[in-house]
Amino acid sequence: MMDKRIIRVFPRRTNATPDDELVRVRETPSFFDEADEVHISVAFTWDMPYAEWLAAQWAPVAPVKMGGPAFNEPGGDFVPGMYMKRGYVITSRGCPNRCWFCAVPKREGGQLRELPVTDGWIVTDDNLLACSPGHIDEVFAMLSRQPHRPQFVGGLEAALMTPDMAVRLRGLKPESMFFAYDTPNDLEPLQAAGKMLLDAGFKRSNHVPRCYVLIGYPGDTQEKALARLGEAWRAGFLPFAMLYRDNTGNFDKDWRRFQREWANPKIVPCNCKKYFEK
């Protein structure tokens, strides 16, 4: 695939968007653009109309293919640097859980698939800890030889944490590890995982153990959301609010303002001390 000249077009830029010379973000073709293929990569369902418009604009340049998580189709093997910036890596796809708000089980058919392990240090697997012990061993060996400290940004499942795994994670000296607090049933496993990580040598003050906290879903209130953020903090994690969106991408502006106060890594520690350490 990489032998071809493939221009990759993205409807929006994220932290993971690649930045090589063949990447275009929200751009129509210029007079000088030449390619064997054009790939439109769509991460979010609410970007589909704009992505389809981009596909029409790029059609005169080369055959256009569209894909990405927004299409709810199983992903293939991970190609480093192709649709995610160098350093990002996916070693497995899918998750055995059936969370009501998550599109991953629908996209991957409720299965977890282990992929060939490629180099990278920003791990974005859907549920790495649900993989086989052999696969996890291979991933950890790969991370130990990278030029940067690993980051686990895809979300590690607290219910699958063990004291031995906590020690192994500590041995990797990660820059950050994200867990998740999405439903009430997540709290007890999160508290148990937090204790294991602290016992393994992680320190709350370093803010390495972190936790996505889902907010703004139907029936939620900002008071309830704040309480969940506090529970994650007391369990040993730096909380980060993740704003729920439906397939249209709509969200309440008040919820968006609230989320911004709890998603900035420079502000969140101050907020935690202000609200949860009185």
Beta bridge partners of 178: 210
Q: What was the pLDDT predicted at 2?
A: 56
pLDDT band at 104 (very low <50, low <70, confident <90, very high): confident
Are 97 and 119 a contacting pair, CB within 8 Å? no
Distance CA 248, CA 48 (A): 10
The fold adopted by the segment(s) 74-276 is pyruvate-formate lyase- activating enzyme (3.80.30)
The two structure tokens encoding residue 74: 């199983």
Distance CA 226, CA 49 (A): 35
For 114-169, the pLDDT digits (tens) are 999 999 999 999 999 999 999 999 999 999 999 999 999 998 999 999 999 999 99
CB atoms within 10 A of CB 27: 14
Give the number of other CB atoms < 10 A from CB of residue 275. 14
Task: Sheet with 238-243: list strands edge to edge.
Answer: 88-89, 122-123, 151-152, 176-181, 209-215, 238-243
State the pLDDT at residue 238.
97
pTM of the model: 0.92
The domain limits of the chain are 6-70, 74-276
Mean pLDDT of 199-225: 95
